[in-house]
Amino acid sequence: MAKTSISISGTGVAIIATAAALMLPLSGAGGPRAAIGMPGCKTSCGDVSVPYPFGMGSAMCFWPGFNLTCDDTSDPPRLLLGYDSVLRVAEISLRNSTVRVIHTGSTIDISPLTRNTAVQDWNFTYGNCFTGGGGAPYTLSSINELILTGCNVQATLLQNDDDSNIISGCASFCSATRTAYVGGVASGHDKYCSGMGCCQAPISIDSSPKELRFRWFNGNHSQDLVPLPVYVFVAEEGWFDQRWVNDELVQKLRPPARAALEVPLILRWEVARDVNSYPNCSAGEVAGRICKSSRSYCNQENRGYSCKCWNGYDGNPYLTDGCQDVNECERPEEYGCFGECRNLLGTFECWCPRGTHGNHTIPNGCVKPVTGSILLGVGLGLVGILIMVLPAILVVRKTKKFMEAKDLKKKFFKQNRGQLLQQLVSQRTDVAERMIITLVELEKATNNFDKTHELGGGGHGIVYKGILSDLHVVAIKKSKIVIQQEIDEFINEVVILSQINHKNIVKLLGCCLEVKVPLLVYEFISNGTLHDHLHASGQIALSWDKRLRIGTDTAKALAYLHSATSIPVIHRDIKSTNILLDATLTAKIHRLCKKEVEKSEKLQQ
């Protein structure tokens, strides 16, 4: 079988990703606008803001690998990726760790390259056109799709130059009469292409593609070149479904217009990891050297780090004092407050206005009480009696109850070795502040552990769903019994698990030691377990590409536990009921219990 290869590195393939990754505000609402770049450095080009770690000009203005170039010769000025890239930067997102670029003239027209009908297979070097020459910080996002148009053709996108790692692939067919059918979005489907005349296939993983393979199904494909032009490119899921785009590329037998060739591309970026000096986020130097804001934290990514502001703060975590308090009270409805609002550092308080009562978290939830003159008179009389007779009794009882509860909390805190936990995390005060959660906070979050907040339970305890004061949704594990001699191991487990920070592992947010049996607080995962989805039927059943992505996420989490943590952790209990799925079907493994951490410590010794 004849085969040939063509290099198209640099301007080869159109790649596009979500337009939802917009530039986020870099200061707290209502407060002074915080700096977004290093002192003395230019922080905009045209209408595009350039936050650190990105920068232009001097090397002091950007983190290594994040250099941009402002082309002032064009009108308006263009911000380019790297020094000599053909990719124009449109938006930079610190919160999503993405950069949106525009690539012009990047769609491959296969037709003129394959007039030689004796050649059936073609290999195209994918190149590094989307990295702008820098390469290291950027990867192609997995939210894109491979698009192919033409008759009786197949395209495959590869991570390597062999078949060992296929990123995506699809095939397009035409009828025997060579009459192509490209009929638009079919009833019951959300894709423009159905495989007749063009096809669309998802990208399986965040990746750095190296090769694109193209193949004709017919040995003599001269007739297959007649009905439709043959194009192949990568684009954001849903972008090709826009009528004006596919009309230009597919329905009309002529070269596409410039507008059809200009496509956006979303790249994921990470601060490269120094394996020798900073192997993972638990290394203390990472927070000081990369995540410079005192109100930020380090997030472990696939190949490096990203920095995020604490809940209730927004801005640039890569700069000193870059994360600023968000004044939720300037836009209270967005945060679920429809009453009186008071802003606090990192959070806010909300209550119904004086003279009203009800639910301040819903529109028109605070109402005035219905009263008449008789009810008013009786009420005033009762109030008078209470004022004269009961205040002393109420004050004494309330004070006594408060002191008893306070003493009991202190007793349990000491009994559960709270001082040991404070000592173990004393080197990182930000961890101590977040890890130790009060009982009052959890009671408010669960309406005093009301049954309506129960997520499930068993012989060992109950799990509740709660909403903390910062509106963070959490899962609270309330065990039934605890052995006192295991308390020290429990505290060590909390310290170890607090250092595990990976997007595919359910994060331990903190614990409460003010009760007889300590409470554990985890991030809330909304979409159930993998077991639930595997045994579902109908439209909610998992497709194969989603199963592959879930398997990849689980493997990443286990690889992190085995080799990236300061003390290797062997899970030993991976099963579908211990793999949770969030709203986007991202897998997160759960149930790191004391036995597994303890075994890992022994292996380390």
Closest CA to 236 of 207, 187, 203: 203
DSSP notation for 231-252 = EEEEEETTTTTSHHHHIIIIIS
Sign of CA dihedral 432, 437, 441, 446: positive
Parallel, antiparallel or unpaired: strands 138-140 and 271-272: unpaired
Q: Which residues contact residue 596 at a Cβ distance below 8 angstroms, ignoring those fewer than 6 apart?
A: 569, 570, 571, 572, 573
Strand partners, 477: 463, 520
| pLDDT surpassing 60 at residue 430 | no
Q: Which residues contact residue 232 at a Cβ distance below 8 angstroms, ignoring those fewer than 6 apart?
A: 13, 108, 110, 146, 147, 148, 149, 155, 212, 214
Task: Name the residue with higher pLDDT: 143 or 481.
Answer: 143
Q: In the structure, what pLDDT confidence band is assigned to residue 564 with cuts at 50, 70 and 90?
A: confident
Strand partners, 308: 297
- On the 0-12 / 13-18 / 19+ scale of CB atoms within 10 A, 488 is exposed
The model's pTM is 0.53
Output phi, psi for 554, to 5 deg. -65, -40
Most confident option among 69-73, 225-229, 257-261, 279-283 = 69-73
pLDDT at 412: 81
Coil, helix or strand at residue 475: strand
- Sequence ranges of the domains in the chain: 3-15+102-269, 44-95+271-324, 331-369, 372-415, 420-604
CB 140 within 8 A of CB 208: yes
Q: What span, in angstroms and rounded, lies between the C-alpha atoms of 543 and 533?
A: 10
573 is catalytic: yes
Token code pair at residue 44: 């905009």
Q: What span, in angstroms and rounded, lies between the C-alpha atoms of 90 and 113?
A: 32
The one-letter code for the residue type at 196 is M
Q: Of 109, 430, 470, 573, which is the active-site residue?
A: 573
| pLDDT surpassing 50 at residue 469 | yes
The one-letter code for the residue type at 330 is E
Strand partners, 153: 172, 216
The one-letter code for the residue type at 605 is Q
Q: What span, in angstroms and rounded, lies between the C-alpha atoms of 390 and 16?
A: 71
Q: In the structure, what pLDDT confidence band is assigned to residue 598 with cuts at 50, 70 and 90?
A: very low
Q: What is the average per-residue pLDDT within 512-522?
A: 85
pLDDT for 450-463, tens place per residue? 988 888 776 567 88
H-helix or E-strand containing 267? strand 263-269
pLDDT at 595: 44
Query: What CATH number labels 420-604?
Result: 1.10.510.10
Q: What is the average per-residue pLDDT within 103-110?
A: 62
| pLDDT surpassing 80 at residue 577 | yes
Q: What is the average per-residue pLDDT within 465-475?
A: 88
* Three-state secondary structure of 80-127: EECCCCCEEEEEEECCCCEEEEEECCCCEECHHHHCCCCCCEEEEECC
Residue 196: other Cβ atoms inside 10 A:
16
Query: Can you say how many angstroms the Cα of residue 24 is from the centroid of all Cα atoms in its chain?
Result: 15
Q: What is the average per-residue pLDDT within 426-437?
A: 65
CB 531 within 8 A of CB 482: no
Q: What span, in angstroms and rounded, lies between the C-alpha atoms of 347 and 332?
A: 12
Q: What is the average per-residue pLDDT within 142-153?
A: 85
